[in-house]
Amino acid sequence: MNRQRGFTLLEMLLGMTLIAIVSLSAWYLLAGMSRSQQMMLSQGGKLKAINRVFNILSDDFSHAVMRTRVKADATDLQVQTGDVSQVRLLRKQSRSAGVKLEQVEWYLQNNTLYRRSWLLAPGTQVINQQQLVGVSGFHLRFYQQGLWQPQLLSGDTLPQAVEITLAVNGLGEVQRLTLMGEQ
């Protein structure tokens, strides 16, 4: 009797099918990892931009000041909501040699968050900067008299803290709490 040596055609086809399935699974796994890495990098850039904006906002609020006013109706911290959410505050400018006051305004327009600033001195230039694109909401809450308030209770004292909420397209709502300036 002759004994066969080697593999039959059926065994070869079965082996090739198994190798193809394992190779295809590995390819899908690597392609998925590559897509995940690309998504992380793109979201990472967005998260860096959001973090940068929160740092600037926190810096502005932590350097906020109130001046003693002659007129009772004037205020150094103003909040407006509606079609255009905005906040305007007076802060000490930390980048200059002397203590200078700087007016800062944050506002949301056409899904873009802007920061406008100018020194309170004659002949100063207004600097308007686009900070973050893809923002559908900009909301503030203020910690005053032991409670979180949706509006400022009075215009003559700063709140103790502020909660900043940005509604960012693709990420949802992102919040940051920051302490206010001089009390």
The overall pTM is greater than 0.75: no
Q: Which residues pair with 105 in a beta bridge?
A: 88, 116
Rounded Cα–Cα distance for residues 72 and 76 (Å)? 12
Q: What is the pLDDT of residues 26-66, one digit of tens each?
A: 999 999 999 888 877 777 788 899 999 999 999 998 888 87
Rounded Cα–Cα distance for residues 153 and 176 (Å)? 21
Q: What is the pLDDT of residue 29?
A: 92
3-class state of residue 8 by DSSP: coil
Helix (DSSP H) and strand (DSSP E) numbers for the chain: 1, 9
Q: In the chain, where are the structural domains located?
A: 55-179
Rounded Cα–Cα distance for residues 93 and 99 (Å)? 7
Say which DSSP state 145 is in. T
Q: What is the pLDDT of residues 55-109, one digit of tens each?
A: 999 999 888 887 655 444 445 566 655 444 788 888 887 665 666 888 999 999 9
